[in-house]
Copies of this chain bind each other. A is one copy, B any other.
C-alpha cells in the first residue's frame, strides 16, 4: 500500500465487492467494482493483489455481521434446542428481504466452482463454523447423534436459503416444522 491511496478506498472497495457480487454474481468486472467504489483501478491494485483477493476480503469483512445476526449470544440462558431454532428464525427474517438471493457464503461457492479460490475458502470456513455451532449445541442438548444432526441442520439451512434465494419457496411455515422434526428425532432437549 502506498500513500497515494485515499483514506476509505479500501472500505469502499470491500463494500462494493460485497454488494455487487451478491447482486450480480462473481463475474462482475473490476471496472464496475472500481466505478461503484469511486476508486481507480491503480489504487485497487495497490490495495489488493487481485480481484480474487478483493472478493475474499469482502466476504471476510461480512463474516462478523453474519455471525452476529444469525447466532444467539453465548450463555443466553436458553436451551440448546431454542438456540438452534434462533438461527433458523434469523434466516427466516433475512429471507423475507426482497433483495435476498440466498446465503452469500453458499452462493459464492456455487458460482466460483473452485474450492481452492480464496473467496471459496473464506466462505467454506464460515459455513464450517456454523456447522460446528450446530454440533456443539447438539452435544449440549444430548442429541443421539450430534454429528448427523449438525449435518442435517446445515443441509436444511442451505436448502432453505437457496430455495428462498431463487424465490422457489419461503422458509415461513416450512423451516420450523422441519427443524423441529429433526430435533425431536434426535431426542434434543
Interface presence of A113 (CB below 8 A): yes
Q: Smallest distance from the beta carbon of A155 to chain B beta carbons, Å?
A: 4
Closest Cβ of chain B: how far from A57's Cβ, in Å? 20
CB of A1 within 8 Å of the partner chain: no
> Are B127 and A151 interface neighbours, CB within 8 A?
no
Q: Complex formed: what's the CA distance from A173 to B149 in Å? A: 11
Cα distance A169–B131 in the bound complex, in angstroms: 11
Chain A interface mostly? helix
B162 pairs with A158, CB closer than 8 A: yes
Known: A25-B113, A111-B111, A113-B24. A152 touches B166 (CB 8 A): no
Whether B178 pairs with A155 at a CB distance below 8 angstroms is yes
Q: A110-B102, A110-B111, A152-B174 are in contact. Are A127 and B168 (CB under 8 A)?
A: yes
So how many copies of this chain end up in the complex? Answer: 2
Mark A2-32 against chain B: 1 for CB-CB distance below 8 A, else 0.
Answer: 0000000000000000000001110100000
Q: Contact check, B159 vs A177: say whether CB atoms are below 8 A apart.
A: no
Interface status of A40 (Cβ within 8 A of chain B): no
A169 to chain B, nearest CB (A): 6
User: Can you report 7 A-B residue pairs in the complex whose CB atoms are below 8 A from each other?
Assistant: A23-B113, A25-B113, A107-B110, A111-B111, A115-B167, A152-B178, A159-B159
Residues of B within 8 A of A160 (CB): 155, 159
Residues of B within 8 A of A162 (CB): 106, 110, 158-159, 162
